[in-house]
Amino acid sequence: MERRKFVCEMLLTLMTLFHILLTCVDSASASGLGRRNLLANGLGRTPPMGWNSWNHFSCQIDEKMIRETADALVSTGLSKLGYTYVNIDDCWAELIRDDKGNLVAKNSTFPSGIKALADYVHSKGLKIGIYSDAGYFTCSKKMPGSLNHEFQDAKTFASWGIDYLKYDNCNNDGSKPTSRYPIMTRALMKAGRPIFFSLCEWGDMHPALWGAKVGNSWRTTGDINDSWESMITRADMNEVYADLARPGGWNDPDMLEVGNGGMTKDEYIVHFSLWAISKAPLLLGCDIRNMTKETKEIITNEEVIAVNQDPLGIQAKKVRMEGDIEIWAGPLSGYRVAVVLLNRSPFRNSITANWDDIDIPTKTVVEARDLWEHKTLKRKFVDKLTATIDSHACKMYVLKPIA
Ligand SMILES: *[C@@H]1O[C@H](CO)[C@@H](O)[C@H](O)[C@H]1NC(C)=O
Ligand SMILES: *[C@@H]1O[C@H](CO)[C@@H](O)[C@H](O)[C@H]1NC(C)=O
Ligand SMILES: *[C@@H]1O[C@H](CO)[C@@H](O)[C@H](O)[C@H]1NC(C)=O
């Protein structure tokens, strides 16, 4: 009896020690990587969602269009789903700063100024983003960049009520992004307003390795365009860095092209599914004042959005590739797993996800929810799940162990 009690106590002590050890490891990685960064603005606990002007409008932007977009985010119900950032990209400012060196909104297109626009966007319950560049000029060369004006510009942005800054890398002085970007980080910290900092140095210096100390997201690729080839290669390049994404700091394969017309419906579903499972920012890039039913159906899929916004914040990986057949998978909260079965080939194919590949213990019985059919499949699955998938299409599931 005594002996048994002793063994029990020993076991308990060991378990407690083990628990303490785990907690230490956990908090060490959290503070070392996530929280104790330069920026520490508390933003981006889940990937940012919203809209950006560039993919559809490039430089053809003005305050009326931005206001209408804010209106549309609300009237379409998109803002309720989480799409709350209204982000103005390049070309919003005059080429010449004012006599105090401040950036000024372009009079011909933003006559009311950015502060008034920000107030309007905020009055709708939304947030506003703006764009600058870690160089002398932005990529369009139609407005100044913030190089050597970081502290002044960050103050200006904060005084206007800006909530998000996309910071590009054009026309710089040839020095490394790792020396230019952290200056804006410090400037934003001193600006007196939490501003989501989106690093856009195109993946040149592997920002996934240093971005979490500097910003809330970092581009891992050059610009996307509205084609299957461009989209799928952005997803590939971004996947390499999966282990480095975490709440507060996300890999960014660039903004969405869904609704711009260059891909089929199935291809746009692949685009949205891969961005969601990769915990990429979901920044719409179409004209949301005027979407087709099909576009709306894709970007309002709440089940797919929930995968993107899952509190664990773990980016999926390609866990198996066989030619043009791929399985992407990653864990979700509640012991669930998100899976995309992807057919990149020109032909219809049968694709199988094996539990071995997606980190579900063998023999586990699993319930499968098809996120695009919005159906929980009647049959239960053990050890694998197989589906037939059209060319340039995918299936997306959430798998939930039930026994
Ligand atoms: C802005 O444009 C308006 C009309 O186009 C003009 O009257 C006004 O003087 C301009 N303001 C500045 C500061 O250039
Ligand atoms: C889009 O990107 C693809 C692949 O990155 C490239 O081959 C193509 O030329 C681009 N198309 C346009 C119109 O820029
Ligand atoms: C809406 O879409 C139609 C058809 O594609 C197009 O002709 C029209 O110009 C669009 N309107 C706006 C405001 O973009």
Phi, psi of 8 (to 5 degrees): -60, -45
Q: Ligand 2: residues within 6 Å at CB?
A: 225, 227, 229-230, 233
Minimal CA–CA distance to 197: which of 177, 179, 180, 211? 211
Stretch (H or E) spanning 178: helix 177-190
- Determine whether 356 is an active site residue: no
What residues pair up with 299 in beta bridges, in sequence order? none
The C-alpha atoms of residue 107 and residue 273 are separated, in whole angstroms, by 40
CA-CA distance, 72 to 101, in Å (whole number)?
35
Question: Residue 348 CB: number of other CB atoms within 10 A?
Answer: 11
Along the 403 residues of the chain, how does pLDDT read in single tens digits? 455 555 545 554 555 454 444 433 433 343 344 444 557 789 999 999 999 999 999 999 999 999 999 999 999 999 999 999 999 999 999 999 999 999 999 999 999 999 999 999 999 999 999 999 999 999 999 999 999 999 999 999 999 999 999 999 999 999 999 999 999 999 999 999 999 999 999 999 999 999 999 999 999 999 999 999 999 999 999 999 999 999 999 999 999 999 999 999 999 999 999 999 999 999 999 999 999 999 999 999 999 999 999 999 999 999 999 999 999 999 999 999 999 999 999 999 999 999 999 999 999 999 999 999 999 999 999 999 999 999 999 999 999 999 7
* DSSP for 207-242, written as a single string: GGGTGGGT-SEEE-SS---SSHHHHHHHHHHHHTTG
45 CB within 6 A, ligand 3 = no
Does residue 163 have an active-site annotation?
no
Angle, helices 63-75/113-123, rounded to nearest 10 degrees:
10
Give residue 107 CA to ligand 1 midpoint distance, Å: 6
The ligand minimizing its distance to the Cα of 60 is 3
Q: Which of 90, 133, 153, 168 is labelled catalytic?
A: 168
Question: Does 288 sit in the ligand 3 pocket, CB within 6 Å?
Answer: no
Paired strand residues for 338: 330, 398
pLDDT of residue 9: 55
Among 216, 222, 218, 181, CA closest to 202: 222
AA letter at 299: I
Of 380, 307, 378, 373, nearest to 337 by C-alpha is: 307
Q: Does 107 sit in the ligand 1 pocket, CB within 6 Å?
A: yes
Could you write out the three-class secondary structure of 61-72? CCHHHHHHHHHH
Task: Give the span between the Cα atoms of 127 and 142, in whole angstroms.
Answer: 25
Nearest CA to ligand 3 atom 9: 290
Per-residue pLDDT, 128: 98
For residues 307 and 371, is the Cβ–Cβ distance under 8 A? Answer: yes
Check: CB of residue 323 under 8 Å from CB of residue 345. Answer: yes
pLDDT value, residue 40: 76
Tell me which of 95, 107, 108 to substitute to probe ligand 1's pocket, judged by most ligand atoms within 8 Å of the beta carbon.
107
> 3-class DSSP state for residue 170?
coil
Closest residue by CA, ligand 2 atom 11:
225
- What the chain holds in terms of domains, given with CATH numbers, is 49-309 (3.20.20.70), 317-401 (2.60.40.1180)
The pLDDT value given to residue 397: 98
Cα 261 to ligand 3 centre (Å): 12
Protein residue closest via CA to atom 5 of ligand 3: 290
